[in-house]
C-alpha cells in the first residue's frame, strides 16, 4: 500500500509539472508575437505601426486591449533608444506596455527620448477595427453592438475569426443582426472569400440599406470579380431607390416638425390679428417672454430643487401663460384700446412696444443667449427604418396638438369663446345683447399673448433663448395667419403644416434662403387670387 501511495503522489506531481510547463510554454508563445509587435511601434514608421496593430489584436494578450486603447487616445509612448513601449496613465504614471506594471521613475528617470506613437487617418480606422474586434466578446451587449458597428465601418477581414466566435455565442437578435452585417463587410474585403460568399454578403449589406451600407458597396476594389460587381451594382440601385423614399419620409417628418413650430408661434397671432384685427408686432416678444420664464423656472429649480428638473417645463407652461397673458392685457388696456380701427397706428405702436420689451429683457438678463435644458424624457432619439426621430421634436408636435385642441374647445364650449365669436362677427350687435366688448377685447388679447408665451416654452428647447428670439418667428407667423385665412384656426393649422412641409422639400434643391423666398412669392400670388386666405370666414355679418 505504501508503494502504491508513493507512486500516486509521483503521478500527481508529474501532472502538475507538465501542466505548469505547458502553461508556461503557451504564455511564452503568446507573449513572443506580442513583444515583437510592440517592438514595431519603436520605429515611428506608419508602415510598421499598421501591421503591429493587427498583430497585437490577434495575439489575445491580456495587454492587447489597453495598448490599442492607449494608442487610440494618444497615450502610447515609445523610447527609440531603449526599444521600449509605455502607456501613460491619466495621472502621468508610466506603465510597461508589455507587462502592465508601473515603471519606476525614481531613482531611474524615464527615458529622455519618450515620444508618442503617431497615427494618421488610415491608422485610426485600423485602430477602431482592432478595438472593435477586441470588444466583440464583451459581456455588455451595448459594447458588443458598438464593436460590431466599428468592424462594419472598418471592413477589417482580420476580424472574421472573432466575428464567427461572437456569432456562435450571441443570443440577442439585435446584436446578432449587426454582427452579421459586420461579418458581411469583412467578407467583401477579404481576399480569401469565395465569390458565392461575397454575393451572399452583398445581400446582407443591401438589407441594411443605410448610407454606411451604400458607401461600403460603392467602395469595393476594382479587382472585384465580375459576378460580385454585378450583384453590388444591382444592390446599389435598389438601395438608392429605397433611400430616396426614406429621404422623402424624413423631409415630411422635418416639415411636420417645422409646421408644428410655426403653428405654435402663429396660433396666438391668429386670435389677436385674426379675431381683433390688430397688427401686433409685439407678438414675437410674447414668445420671447415665455422662453425667459422657462429659463427663470429652471434656474430656480437648479439652485434649490434639482430633483424637480424633469418637471421644469410642465411648471413653466402655466407660468409662461400667465406672465405673457398679463403683459398682453396690460398692453391692450393702456395702448391698443385707443387704436382700434386704425391698423397702421397699431402696427407702429406695437413695434415700439416690442423694442421696449427687448431692451427690458436685455437689461435684466443680458444680451447673451441663456441655456434652457431638456428634461430626460425629451432627450435622445429612436429610429424607424432609415429615419431618426428625436423625442424633443416629437413632444413638441404632441404639445402643439394639445394646445390647438384646448383652444378649439375654449372657443366652442365656453361662455368666453361664445362671446369672443359674437364680438368677432358683429361687435355692435354683441354690445346691444349685453356683452361687454371692451372686457372681451382685453381677455382675447391676453389669451393670444398667453398662448404665445407657452409657445416660447416649447421653442426654448429648439432655439436660442435671447432677446431676439421672437423676431425669428413674427414674419412667419403673419404669413401663416394670412395664408390660412384671417380668424380661422383650422386654416392656421393647415397653413402652418403646408408651409413647413413645403419649406423642407424645397431646401435640398433651392437652399434655405431661396426656399423661403419662393414660399413668400407663392403666398403673395395666392393672396392676389384669394385675399381672405384658404379658409375665409363666411356669413353676412362678417366684418371686412
Q: What average pLDDT does the segment 346-356 reach?
A: 90
Taking each helix axis as running N to C, give the angle between helix 226-272 and helix 437-459, from 0 to 180 degrees, rounded to the nearest 10. 150
Going by pLDDT thresholds of 50, 70 and 90, the confidence category of residue 492 is confident
Question: 212-218 long-range CB contacts below 8 Å, 24 or more apart?
Answer: 212/152, 212/153, 213/181, 213/239, 214/239, 214/240, 214/243, 216/152, 216/155, 216/185, 216/188, 217/188
Q: What is the pLDDT of residue 8?
A: 44
Lowest mean pLDDT among 199-208, 270-279, 416-425: 270-279
At residue 381, φ and ψ (nearest 5 deg) are: -155, 170
**What are the pLDDT digits (tens) for 124-178?**
878 877 776 677 777 788 888 888 888 888 887 777 887 888 888 888 888 889 8
DSSP-derived secondary structure letter, 118? P
Single pTM value for the model: 0.68
Set of cell numbers at residue 446: 391676453
Going by pLDDT thresholds of 50, 70 and 90, the confidence category of residue 28 is very low
Going by pLDDT thresholds of 50, 70 and 90, the confidence category of residue 60 is low
Q: What is the pLDDT of residue 5?
A: 47
Q: What is the pLDDT of residue 109?
A: 65
Residue with cell 408651409: 499
CB-neighbour burial class of residue 147 (10 A; exposed 0-12, middle 13-18, buried 19+):
buried
At residue 87, φ and ψ (nearest 5 deg) are: -110, 125
Q: In angstroms, rounded to a whole number, what is the distance separating the alpha carbons of residues 40 and 79?
A: 12
Judged against a pLDDT cut of 70, whether residue 180 lies above it is answered with yes
Q: Which of 224, 55, 210 has its CA nearest to residue 126? A: 55
Judged against a pLDDT cut of 60, whether residue 466 lies above it is answered with yes
Residue with cell 424607424: 384
Q: What average pLDDT does the segment 352-381 reach?
A: 88
Q: What is the pLDDT of residue 106?
A: 55
Q: Which of 219, 331, 228, 206 has its CA nearest to residue 281? A: 331
Q: Which of 229, 267, 280 has its CA nearest to residue 450? A: 267
Q: What average pLDDT does the segment 502-516 reach?
A: 81
Q: What average pLDDT does the segment 64-89 reach?
A: 85
Taking each helix axis as running N to C, give the angle between helix 173-188 and helix 160-169, from 0 to 180 degrees, rounded to the nearest 10. 160
CB 466 within 8 A of CB 370: yes
Mean of pLDDT over the chain: 82
Judged against a pLDDT cut of 50, whether residue 3 lies above it is answered with no
Amino acid at each position: 500500500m505504501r508503494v502504491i501511495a508513493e507512486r500516486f503522489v509521483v503521478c500527481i506531481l508529474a501532472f502538475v509539472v507538465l501542466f505548469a510547463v505547458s502553461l508556461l510554454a503557451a504564455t511564452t508563445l503568446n507573449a513572443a508575437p506580442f513583444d515583437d509587435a510592440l517592438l514595431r511601434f519603436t520605429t515611428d514608421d506608419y508602415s510598421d505601426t499598421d501591421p503591429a496593430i493587427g498583430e497585437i489584436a490577434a495575439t489575445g494578450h491580456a495587454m492587447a486591449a489597453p495598448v490599442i486603447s492607449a494608442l487610440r487616445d494618444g497615450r502610447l509612448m515609445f523610447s527609440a533608444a531603449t526599444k521600449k513601449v509605455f502607456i501613460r496613465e491619466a495621472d502621468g504614471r508610466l506603465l510597461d506596455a508589455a507587462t502592465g506594471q508601473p515603471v519606476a521613475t525614481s531613482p531611474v528617470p524615464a527615458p529622455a527620448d519618450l515620444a508618442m506613437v503617431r497615427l494618421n487617418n488610415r491608422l485610426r480606422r485600423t485602430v477602431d477595427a482592432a478595438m472593435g474586434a477586441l470588444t466583440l466578446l464583451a459581456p455588455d451587449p451595448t459594447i458588443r453592438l458598438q464593436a460590431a458597428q466599428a468592424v462594419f465601418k472598418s471592413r477589417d477581414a482580420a476580424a472574421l475569426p472573432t466575428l464567427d466566435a461572437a456569432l456562435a455565442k450571441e443570443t440577442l437578435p439585435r446584436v446578432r443582426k449587426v454582427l452579421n452585417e459586420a461579418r458581411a463587410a469583412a467578407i467583401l474585403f477579404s481576399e480569401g472569400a469565395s465569390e458565392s460568399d461575397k454575393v451572399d454578403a452583398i445581400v446582407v449589406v443591401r438589407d441594411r440599406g443605410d448610407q454606411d451600407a451604400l458607401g461600403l458597396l460603392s467602395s469595393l476594389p476594382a479587382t472585384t470579380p465580375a459576378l460580385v460587381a454585378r450583384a453590388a451594382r444591382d444592390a446599389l440601385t435598389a438601395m438608392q431607390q429605397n433611400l430616396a423614399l426614406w429621404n422623402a419620409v424624413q423631409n415630411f417628418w422635418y416639415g411636420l416638425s417645422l409646421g408644428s413650430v410655426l403653428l405654435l408661434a402663429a396660433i396666438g397671432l391668429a386670435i389677436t390679428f385674426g379675431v381683433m384685427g390688430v397688427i401686433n408686432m409685439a407678438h414675437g416678444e410674447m414668445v420671447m417672454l415665455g422662453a425667459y420664464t422657462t429659463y427663470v423656472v429652471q434656474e430656480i429649480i437648479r439652485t434649490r430643487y434639482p430633483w424637480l428638473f424633469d418637471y421644469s417645463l410642465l411648471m413653466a407652461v402655466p407660468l409662461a401663460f400667465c406672465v405673457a397673458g398679463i403683459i398682453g392685457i396690460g398692453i391692450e388696456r393702456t395702448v391698443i384700446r385707443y387704436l382700434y380701427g386704425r391698423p397702421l397706428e397699431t402696427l407702429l405702436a406695437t413695434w415700439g412696444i416690442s423694442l421696449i420689451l427687448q431692451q427690458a429683457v436685455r437689461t435684466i438678463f443680458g444680451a447673451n443667449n441663456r441655456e434652457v435644458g431638456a428634461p430626460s424624457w425629451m432627450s435622445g432619439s429612436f429610429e424607424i427604418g432609415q429615419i431618426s426621430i428625436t423625442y424633443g421634436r416629437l413632444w413638441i408636435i404632441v404639445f402643439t396638438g394639445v394646445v390647438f385642441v384646448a383652444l378649439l374647445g375654449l372657443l366652442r364650449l365656453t361662455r368666453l369663446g361664445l362671446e369672443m365669436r359674437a364680438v368677432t362677427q358683429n361687435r355692435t350687435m354683441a354690445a346691444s345683447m349685453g356683452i361687454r366688448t371692451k372686457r372681451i377685447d382685453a381677455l382675447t388679447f391676453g389669451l393670444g399673448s398667453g398662448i404665445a408665451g407657452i409657445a416660447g416654452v416649447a421653442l426654448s428647447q429648439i432655439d436660442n433663448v435671447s432677446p431676439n428670439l421672437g423676431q425669428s418667428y413674427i414674419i412667419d407667423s403673419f404669413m401663416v395667419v394670412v395664408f390660412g385665412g384671417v380668424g380661422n384656426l383650422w386654416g392656421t393649422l393647415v397653413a402652418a403644416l403646408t408651409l413647413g412641409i413645403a419649406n423642407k422639400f424645397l431646401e435640398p434643391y433651392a437652399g434655405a434662403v431661396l426656399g423661403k423666398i419662393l414660399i413668400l412669392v407663392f403666398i403673395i400670388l395666392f393672396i392676389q387670387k384669394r385675399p381672405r386666405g384658404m379658409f375665409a370666414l363666411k356669413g353676412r355679418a362678417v366684418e371686412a
